[in-house]
Structure 1
Amino acid sequence: MNPVTDLFSIPATIELANYMFAAFAQAIHHLPPAPYALAFDISNEEDDLRRPVVRLFANYETYAISKYPENDRSGKWRASSHLEAIWGSAIWEMRTLATIGNQYAGEGSFDGDYVDKKGMALRKKWVQALGLWYEDELKNTNFDQAFEIDGKIIPLFDDLCLSVARRLHPVVIEHFQTDLPILFFGCEGNFDMETISLALLANPITLLKGYGEFLREMCGVEYENFVMQDFDKENYTYTSFCQGESH
């Protein structure tokens, strides 16, 4: 099997993607007006790449303004600028609106987290259907092989999340009467090439102007130019985009 080519022909992919879409769409329909952006926060349970987790976040202008350097007196992590307060993942209000695959909720977890047993089961079924599941013993007996398998799971989960983000734009428009950017957060924040590429592919260019300005401030104009590319994005998955191939 070619995991990249066959990903969306696998029933377990469709099942997991539909479950994610339904949970996130329902959460959006319960949001009050009007956030300026949404975000998919992608992580892994206990750094186990066989168990990816995604959470849906939203941020509001009132919260971002409260984090402007001149307004924030919390003594915690502070934004260095207005743009970072608005777009920087470290500054957002990390409140889970919906989550897929989360197996822990309690001390140290995000506000709003809950245990998603169905998502956990669908995720394992999906990884098994990809032919990429392995038992814990493999990390002890052949770490390099386990590491190689892990590296295949990450971009495929990114592809799955990207497909759901694209499907959510009509839901956002229906609920808020306007479209919103859907960003991506990861272990490196939201200004590494993985999260920037996902944001580029998930959104119309018109929604990314503010995010592009944030990237220019944090990383340089070449990052802004990258995220503001205009092309037929629907022909690309994250994986095919990284490989330079339309799909």
Structure 2
Amino acid sequence: MDAGAIASGTATGGAGYVAVKGGGEALAKQAVKEGAEIGAKKTAQEVAEAGAKTVTKEVAEAGAEKAVQEGLEATGRKGLKETAEELAKKVTNKFTKEGVEETAVKEVNEHEQIVTNKLDGIAREEKIMKGLDFRYGKNNVLREQFIRDKNGEIIKDPVTGTARRLDFVVRGKDKVIKMVEVTSKTAPKEMQKAKEQRIVEWAEAHDGAFIKDSRTGELLKIPEIVHTEIKRLK
């Protein structure tokens, strides 16, 4: 049955019913389809809008958290840096102050030790000198005498470039009869003895070793058989 028959009313009742029913179904399907499409579009739009809001919110929150975290980290780093710098200053100041104090105390202690050693050395020498004065006569005991050459020039060690000064020299008529070195019980003297030996050997190869009597200006020869005696006292 065609649409024209239905429109003109020439169709029979049964046929009209079928036609109307068929048309209604078609219209219903079309309406459902259109409704479904509209609903789908609306739903899609709502979902999109909702998703956009959610995404925007999440992005914003994430950005805010990141910004806050970066800010805290930056502040933390700055705070730690400032704290470390302050600590370093305090530690430096502390150790500088303690170092100065420690150095000062050390220098004072060393100076005191030097003075003590010097006083002890003077006391030892005074004791030996009294014994030498008593035995040989005060005028024959000479203190702190350099070893010299035949011209009266002070001889220097070819190795160290330094001279050798004897604590005590006892003179005879025209020569040295005794030489004495005074020291403590534990002071090492090996290097000093070696230096003296080198000076004397050089002198013997150049007409001998001498000392000069500071009171008379007389040069007194040191015989090869006379060697320095080391006297050790407390």
For Structure 1 versus Structure 2, the TM-score category normalised by the shorter chain is: under 0.3
TM-score in terms of structure 2 length? 0.24
Higher strand share: 2
The structure showing larger relative contact order (alpha-carbon pairs under 8 Å, at least 6 residues apart) is 1
Q: Greater Rg, structure 1 or structure 2?
A: 2
TM-score, L = length of structure 1? 0.23
> Which structure is higher in helix share?
2
